[in-house]
Amino acid sequence: MNKVKNLKKKIRNFSYFPNCIKALLKINAYANLKTTDKIDVLMQGEEFQRKQMINIYFPYIIEKFIVFGINGKNNNIELNDIVDIYNRSLSIGSSISQNNDGVFLSELFFYMGNEQTPLQETNYNQMFYRYTELFNDDESQKIAKEILGVELDKFIVLCWALGSFILNSKTTPIKLNISKFSSFILKGKNEFTQNDINNFIDYVSIDRETFKEKYYTLRKVNLDIKESFLDDETLDRIDRYLPKVSFHYPLLKDGDNYYITSFTAIIEFLKLGRVYSDISENKIYNKYKIKILGTQVEKYLRNEIELYCDRLQIEKKIYGDENYKIGKQEYSAPDVIFETDNYIFIIECKTSAFNLITSIQNFKKEVSSRIEKDLEKSEKNVKRYLDEKKQNETKKIYKFLMYFNSTPITLSSLKFELFKDTDFILTDINSIEYLFMLQGKKLDIVIDNFLIEEKKGNHNTLYDFLRINYSIDNTIIENIFEKKVKFILGEIINE
């Protein structure tokens, strides 16, 4: 036991700046960059597996160095020390004890899903497109600019530019050269200003003390009690799975220098999870989530279905969320309904993210109980609607409970143990997007095949099933985003 405590003790022997950071980033570069000075310390396994392990463990290790590697006597770190630290990290979270409440596998997959699944998704243009479309109304644009310090479209293009500037480096970069990055942006014929760039850098960067505060906050039992931290036994079980501060702040500010926290963090930030959370979960704009966000998610989803049907020339009806009456009582239809001659897709949308911190600390209460309530509500809503409209006798009907801000494996793990009997498909926005980008397939047949394989235990996630068995056509979305980038960024997009 005390695995996390011993790991911290080992790291305290070193000072992160100025040399340890170079060694750790060169290892992280192996998994993410094409530089010639990168290092691979994990010699076993296939290359993909080694890169995946680096992306999982080294952001965790680097964050420990940022917090605890401050005044150590060693400014340099040897390869054998890095391997030792890596091996210590491997054992953290590997001894989750099986409990007696029937949720062991669900809990384990939930942890792994939040830690590993996002790292496998690299379709940034889809993410960029998603959020430009989701937040394209006036109120969202206003809130986004107040939070980000720059218009959302400009911000997303700056994210694209930051990724391009860093991840295409010929040697492993340790810091972001603000002057060169600014020149990279401003040399094009566009409407960017230095103030836009400064505000963008302020948003994506964090100083070391604030980083430490956020790191410790993630490990508190009670945010209102100053010294209320998780005990050693709990940390040994969940520490590695806790959210990474660096994934929200990929640059570490130290004086006039802006150090890269990790290249994995750069890539994860480009998926805009923090942007979505800052806009949708911000307590200052709490009415926004209630009055606007749900409608925007439904609108975005209907637009995705529309693009799919137009591409394949499918006759369809797309509707949902209309009011209807049973007697004098008024109800709302399911959120999104997609109807063809042969089948109906009914999609209930949930915009709120799971609170990952409280979910990891109390999985059964925070995750399974919430989904159980969501399912019960959606099942009643859909049944009432179908009974009233009498649509359940003529066409195949498929029901989805879609969480907008979750990962595929997270929701699948819950159904695996806890919700086997529901006829709803628990899923997320990534899976739904992928479904409506399939190349010329009958979607009812696709879902039928998935349900057959799921019952056999061959696939636990819709996303996994689709990616393995089908090809997608996302050229329309790629073209839309590319035109947007060219329009905003100007001529440097072609360089």
Residues 6 or more apart whose CB falls under 8 angstroms from that of 272 comprise: 127, 128, 131, 156, 159
Q: Which position has the higher pLDDT, 306 or 37?
A: 306
363 phi and psi, to 5 degrees? -60, -50
CA distances to 28, 61, 252, 269, 363 from 244, rounded to whole Å, are 15, 11, 13, 11, 19
pLDDT for the residue 492 = 46
pLDDT for the residue 100 = 44
CA 403, 317, 330: angle at the middle one, nearest 5?
A: 65
Lowest mean pLDDT among 17-31, 99-113, 311-325: 99-113
Q: Tell me how far apart the alpha carbons of residues 407 and 427 are, in angstroms, rounded to a whole number.
A: 8
Lowest mean pLDDT among 121-125, 344-348, 417-421, 475-479: 417-421
pLDDT tens profile 110-140: 666 666 666 666 667 788 888 989 999 999 9
pLDDT for the residue 493 = 45
Q: Which position has the higher pLDDT, 275 or 459?
A: 275
> Which domains are delineated in the chain?
1-92+137-280 (no CATH), 284-479 (3.40.91)
pLDDT tens profile 231-247: 888 888 888 888 899 99
Report percent pLDDT > 90 for the chain. Answer: 46
Question: DSSP H helical segments within 69-123, as ranges?
Answer: 79-91, 104-120
CA 236, 240, 242: angle at the middle one, nearest 5?
A: 110
The two three-digit tokens of residue 412, written as one number: 């699948």
Mean pLDDT of 29-42: 85
447 phi and psi, to 5 degrees? -70, -40
pLDDT for the residue 297 = 94
The two three-digit tokens of residue 428, written as one number: 């997320």
CB neighbour class for 444 (10 Å; exposed up to 12, middle 13-18, buried from 19): middle
Please name the helix (run of DSSP H) or strand (run of DSSP E) that holds residue 300, with its range, or none.
Answer: helix 294-312
Is the pLDDT confidence value at 251 over 70?
yes
pLDDT for the residue 229 = 85
CB neighbour class for 301 (10 Å; exposed up to 12, middle 13-18, buried from 19): buried
Mean pLDDT of 107-111: 63
The two three-digit tokens of residue 10, written as one number: 């080992």
Is the pLDDT confidence value at 404 over 70?
yes
Is the pLDDT confidence value at 151 over 90?
yes
Is the pLDDT confidence value at 485 over 80?
no
Q: Are strands 343-350 and 396-403 parallel, antiparallel or unpaired?
A: parallel
Instruction: Please name which of 147, 132, 163 lies closest in space to residue 269, comparing C-alpha atoms.
Output: 163
Mean pLDDT of 97-121: 58
Q: Tell me how far apart the alpha carbons of residues 248 and 472 are, in angstroms, rounded to a whole number.
A: 29
Q: Which position has the higher pLDDT, 230 or 211?
A: 211
483 phi and psi, to 5 degrees? -65, -40
Mean pLDDT of 480-487: 68
Q: Tell me how far apart the alpha carbons of residues 66 and 214 are, in angstroms, rounded to a whole number.
A: 12
Q: Which position has the higher pLDDT, 230 or 335?
A: 335
pLDDT for the residue 394 = 79
Q: Which residue has the tokens 């049973």?
A: 326
The two three-digit tokens of residue 245, written as one number: 């501060």
Mean pLDDT of 373-379: 90
Bridge partners for 260 per DSSP:
251
pLDDT for the residue 169 = 86
pLDDT tens profile 261-294: 999 999 999 989 899 889 987 777 778 888 899 9
Q: What pTM did the predictor assign?
A: 0.87
Is the pLDDT confidence value at 480 over 80?
no
Q: Tell me how far apart the alpha carbons of residues 252 and 59 are, in angstroms, rounded to a whole number.
A: 13
SS3 350: strand
pLDDT tens profile 54-71: 998 999 999 999 999 988
Instruction: Please name which of 477, 361, 444 lies closest in space to residue 129, comparing C-alpha atoms.
Output: 477
> What confidence tier does 52 reach under pLDDT thresholds 50, 70, 90?
confident
Residues 6 or more apart whose CB falls under 8 angstroms from that of 202 comprise: 149
CA distances to 275, 382, 411 from 432, rounded to whole Å, are 21, 19, 13
pLDDT tens profile 160-175: 889 989 988 889 999 9
Q: How far apart are the first and last CA of the chain?
A: 53
Average pLDDT value over all residues in the chain: 85
